[in-house]
Structure 1
Amino acid sequence: MQVTETLNEGLKREYAITVTADELDAKVAEKLKEAQPGVEMKGFRKGKVPMALLRKQFGQRLMGESMQEAIDGALSKHLEDSGDRPAAQPQMKMTNEDWKEGDDVNVEVSYEKLPDIEDVDFASVSLERMVVKADDDSIKEALDNLAESPQAMTYEAKKGAAKDGDQVVLDFVGKVDGEAFEGGTAEDYPLVLGSNSFIPGFEDGLLKVKAGDEKDVEVTFPEDYQAENLAGKKAVFTCTIKEVKAAKAPEIDDELAKKFGADDLEALKTQIKERLEAEYTGASRAVAKRALLDVLDSKVSFDLPKSLVEAEAGQIAHQLWHEENPDVEGHDHPEITPTDEHNKLAERRVKLGLLLADIGQKADVKVTDQEMTQAVMNQARQYPGQERQFFDFVQQNAQFRQQLQAPLFEDKVVDHIFEQAAVTDKEVSKEDLQTAVEKLEEE
């Protein structure tokens, strides 16, 4: 077997692999010999079928297997010897397409190798990390918001018409084509107008009603409504208004705290402070991470695999096109050509992705099974009632598992760099942090 380099240009590599006819024949004979003891054929005892007959019966199929194994083996040995890591699956093409049994096999193999990346001196990386403390004003604002939330709000009977934020207590019967439907009837139902807990249009139809009123509210079920027999259908709800109640915010005291699971008001304030500072820490980390990536982008330079950049640019252009054209859900649209801006962003993403992967590999960074399980459970919460189906999907979909693992790995690599970099904490205001976060979102 012979491997000859035919192209060495930048990261591009091409090789001509030749598997001789004698090598193939020997491999086929080896496979037949291995299989012979278990072969049964009419007229022969088990394991006693002549080799010539076995070759006639199975040789053609085993020739193809042997050919593929030989080529794959040659490529694997070459990659092991050279240390090359292909950026994508190597392309293989048989160059003697008129091949017949007894001929050598000639194959052309091409790929782009991943670049060699120099180590980064993380101690030379200087970063500033924003620190925000939850002050009394922020805690008071959070308490006020809790007191005005539906969970805390109380309602008292009022005179006059219902307005947004009021609670309407009503009986209703829903009908489609004059027939009442299952789940469309209730008595003494307390509905807060503006809560968006009913079909679009229903709550708006109850604005300005008064206690004792009867009103028909006409709505149309959404096309994607979960009950297929109602999806897209027009319905009429006959409503009898029992009471109209005005919202009343509770006092901010121990009783309010207990509604939110705290022992008393001081305990609730402590919980709020911890939650706010956890949010600030998360936002600060995102700002510091972007600053770190900017520093790494400027410090490190290496050749990028063109195939990876082109694929990333295409994906960016495609995603942005769909964001600008939300009505187009499928892929039946004109060809999307990446712009210079898309290509520039793709180069940065590929460069930083390869760099972080290289750093993580050298530092032996691993995502643990426990961390993956937690990530899967967090995702599953987005599908209430369908958690089991989601777990099965994740188990069967390696690509999706990789999508979940990638950001976990990246964050662990970033933490690894933070531990070695010169990071200085700087206390700032909540507004300063918010401005920094908004700047991130604009970029």
Structure 2
Amino acid sequence: MQVTETLKDGLKRGYTITVTAAELDAKVQEKLVEAQPDVEIKGFRKGKVPLAILKKQFGQRLLGDAMQDAIDGAMKDHFEKSGERPALQPEVKMSGGEDWQEGQDVVVEMSYEALPEIPELDASKVKLEKLVVKAAEADVDEALKNLAENAKSFEDRKKGSKAKDGDQVVIDFEGFVDGEAFEGGKGEGYPLVLGSNSFIPGFEDQLVGAKAEDEIEVKVAFPENYGAAHLAGKDAVFKCKVHAVKAPKAAEVDDELAKKFGAEDLAALKTQISGRLEAEFGGAARAVLKRGLLDQLDALVSFELPSKLVEAEASQIAHQLWHEEHPEEHGHNHGQIEATDEHRKLAERRVRLGLLLAEVGRKAEVTVTDAEMTQAVIQTARQYPGQERAYFEFVQKNPQIQQQLRAPIFEDKVVDHITGLAEVTEKEVSKDDLQKAVEALDEL
């Protein structure tokens, strides 16, 4: 077996792999010998079928496997000896193609871009500022107010009172399209908060001013993008009977409210809220710190980038941004989306940083544990209520999805590793200053 270099230009590599006919025949013979003990053919006892007969019957089938094994082995041997790692799966094509005949040498052309040599990172040169925000009393009070609002109750208004925005009306309703009742358009004793936008646009507005015992016809149009295709864009009439009009009553901020949310008393609830707020602030501050780190790494380290990795990343960025600008398009029947220079510049940054973090993580032996992967799967599965088990099975069978879940965990652990070696100073700021710093992250 012979591997001959045909191209070495920057990161681009080209090789010719030649597997002689004799080597290929030996591989087939090896597979026949391996299979012989388990083969049973009429006229011969199991394991006693002569190799010549096995070759006549199974040789053609094993030839393709032997050819693939030989080429895979040559590629593996090449990468082990050269120490190179391909940026993407190597392109492999057989010379001669359909003209090849049994008994001839197999000649394969392999091409790829090698991963570049990545300079050693001196993390001590990285200087970072970590924003720290303490939960102010006003922040805790605002959170308590929101909790009280969420825990509010509704009490009957005086008889004859008209419903106001924010009131709760208890109604029976039935919907009709073209005079016919439709499935799912009926409810009894439904408590609807006016202004909650829980019904289709225009429905709740027409119940403002209603009184208990009123019967009202609500006329609306289903949105064009409504989930039920047979109702989308259709005019509808809902016959409603109002049973009660109730005014909202906010819960008192006291020990009873605290107990509703699992705390012993109001003081304990405030402590919990303060901790939760500071955890949220800490998460936002970490995002700002990470951006600062990536910006510095991007400026500190420079190396040649695999062009096909950059092209693929630029194409993905262009595609993603196009869909963000056209949210109405859910499919991919939109023609070719060309990447711009701006997309390529961002792609170069992402590829450079991705390769750098991967190399730092590899040298530091950063790994993602089974427990961390399980936690990531659980968190993602929560997005599919009722289908969690199916999602677990889907992830187990799909290595690509596993990698998508593993990649951000690995990246964050490498970021933590570098941050631990860098010079980090803390700066206490206000919640508003932190918010501005977070908003600035969207500029790239």
Structure 2 length-normalised TM = 0.92
Report what 2:280 is aligned to: 279
Residue 27 of structure 1 is matched in structure 2 by 27
Change (3 A) 1:104 1:404: same
Alignment-derived partner of residue 216 in structure 2: 215
Q: 1:305 to 1:405 in 2, by over 3 A?
A: same
Number of aligned residue pairs: 442
Deviates more, 1:329-338 or 1:29-38: 29-38
Which 10-residue stretch deviates more, 362-371 or 287-296?
362-371
The question of whether the paired residues in 2 share the 8 Å contact of 1:15 and 1:109 is answered with yes
Give the match's secondary structure for 1:373: helix
Q: Distance in 1 between matches of 2:12 and 2:205?
A: 64
Deviation at 1:180, TM superposition (A): 5.6
For residues 90 and 415 of structure 1, what CA distance do their matches in structure 2 show?
33
* 1:249 Cα deviation from its structure 2 partner: 2.5
Contact 2:154 2:168 in 1 (8 A): no
Residue matched to 2:75: 75
> CA, structure 1 residues 44+186, in 2 after alignment: closer, same or farther (shift >3 Å)?
closer
Determine if the alignment matches structure 1 residue 12 to structure 2 residue 12. yes
Task: Give the drift of 1:261.
Answer: 2.5
Residue 83 (structure 1) shift: 1.0
1:414, 1:122 → 2: CA distance? 11
Q: Is the 8 A contact 1:219 1:236 kept in 2?
A: yes
Supply the RMSD in Å over aligned alpha carbons: 2.3
- CA–CA distance in structure 1, aligned partners of residues 5 and 188 of structure 2: 81
| Residue 49 of structure 1: aligned partner | 49
Question: Closer, same or farther in 2 for the Cα pair 1:211/1:71, shift >3 Å?
Answer: same
| Contact 1:94 1:106 (C-alpha < 8 Å) held by counterparts | yes
Task: Give the superposition deviation at 1:111.
Answer: 0.8
Is the 8 Å Cα contact of residues 154 and 246 (structure 2) preserved in structure 1? no
* Contact 1:152–1:256, Cα closer than 8 Å, also in 2: no
- Aligned CA distance change for structure 1 residues 46 and 254 (closer, same or farther; 3 Å): closer
Tell me: CA distance 1:47–1:136, structure 2 relative to 1, closer, same or farther (3 Å). closer
Asked whether the 8 Å contact 1:152–1:259 carries over to 2, the reply is no
The alpha-carbon distance between structure 1 residues 59 and 186, as it changes in their structure 2 partners (threshold 3 A), is closer
Moved more, 338-347 or 176-185: 176-185
Give, in angstroms, the shift of residue 191 of structure 1: 1.6
Q: What pairs up with 1:58-207 in 2 under 5 angstroms?
A: 58-97=58-97, 98-149=99-150, 151-158=151-158, 160-175=161-176, 184-207=185-208
Which residue matches 2:253?
Answer: 252
Rounded to whole Å, the distance in 1 between the matches of 2:88 and 2:19 is 24
Q: How many Å apart are 1:348 and its aligned residue?
A: 0.4
Please state whether the residue corresponding to 1:148 is helix, strand or coil. helix
Question: For residues 436 and 382 of structure 1, do their structure 2 counterparts lie closer, same or farther at Cα, with a shift above 3 Å needed?
Answer: same
Counting only pairs closer than 5 Å after superposition, residues 340-419 of structure 1 correspond to structure 2 as 340-419=341-420
Give the Cα separation in 1 of the matches to 2:336 and 2:226: 33
Which secondary structure state, in structure 2, belongs to the residue aligned with residue 338 of structure 1?
A: coil
**Matched letter for residue 38 of structure 1:** D
Counterpart contact for 1:171–1:239, Cα < 8 Å: yes
Which shifted more, 140-149 or 110-119? 140-149
Following superposition, the deviation at residue 416 of structure 1 comes to: 1.1
Report deviation, 1:222: 6.5
Percentage identity across aligned positions?
67
- How far residue 31 of structure 1 moved from its aligned partner, in angstroms, is 1.8
Q: Does the aligned pair in 2 maintain the 1:128–1:288 contact within 8 Å? A: yes
* 2:135 match: secondary structure: coil
Take 2:45 and 2:67, find their aligned partners in 1: how far apart are those partners?
30
Quick one: distance in 2 between partners of 1:185 and 1:269?
43
* CA contact 1:156–1:247 (8 Å) conserved in 2: no
Aligned residues of 2:152 and 2:249 also touching (Cα < 8 A): no
Could you list the structure 1 runs, at least 4 aligned residues long, displaced by more than 6 angstroms after superposition: 222-233
Cα distance per residue 1:54-108 (max 9 Å; x no partner): 2222222222211111111011011011111111111111123332222111111
Q: Deviations over 1:221-263 (max 9, x none)?
A: 6688778887777654322212222223333222332332222
d(CA) in 2 for partners of 1:231 and 1:327?
Answer: 15
8 Å CA contact retained: 1:171, 1:187 = yes
- C-alpha distance in structure 2 between counterparts of 1:297 and 1:196, whole Å: 46
Classify the secondary structure of the residue corresponding to 2:115.
coil
The residue type equivalent to 2:64 in the other structure is: G
Unaligned runs of 5+ in 1: none
Which of 357-366 and 47-56 deviates more? 47-56
**DSSP-derived class of the 1:165 partner:** coil
Q: Which amino acid aligns with 1:27?
A: K
Distance 2:144 2:224 in 1: 39
Q: Distance in 2 between matches of 1:296 and 1:442?
A: 18
CA separation in 1, counterparts of 2:428 and 2:138?
17
* Higher mean C-alpha deviation, range 83-92 or range 155-164: 155-164
Moved more, 125-134 or 261-270: 261-270
Structure 2 stretches lacking a partner, 5+ long: none
Q: CA offsets, 1:250-283, max 9 Å, x none?
A: 3322233233222222122111111111111000
- 1:294 shift after superposition: 0.5
Moved more, 298-307 or 287-296: 298-307
Cα gap change, 1:378 to 1:28, in 2 (>3 Å): same
Deviation at 1:34, TM superposition (A): 2.5
TM-score (structure 1 length as normaliser): 0.92
Report Cα offsets for 1:313-359 as digits up to 9, x if no partner: 00001111111122222221231111000000000001111111111
The CA deviation string for residues 11-58 of structure 1, in whole angstroms up to 9 with x for no partner, is 111111111111111122222222233333334444443333322222
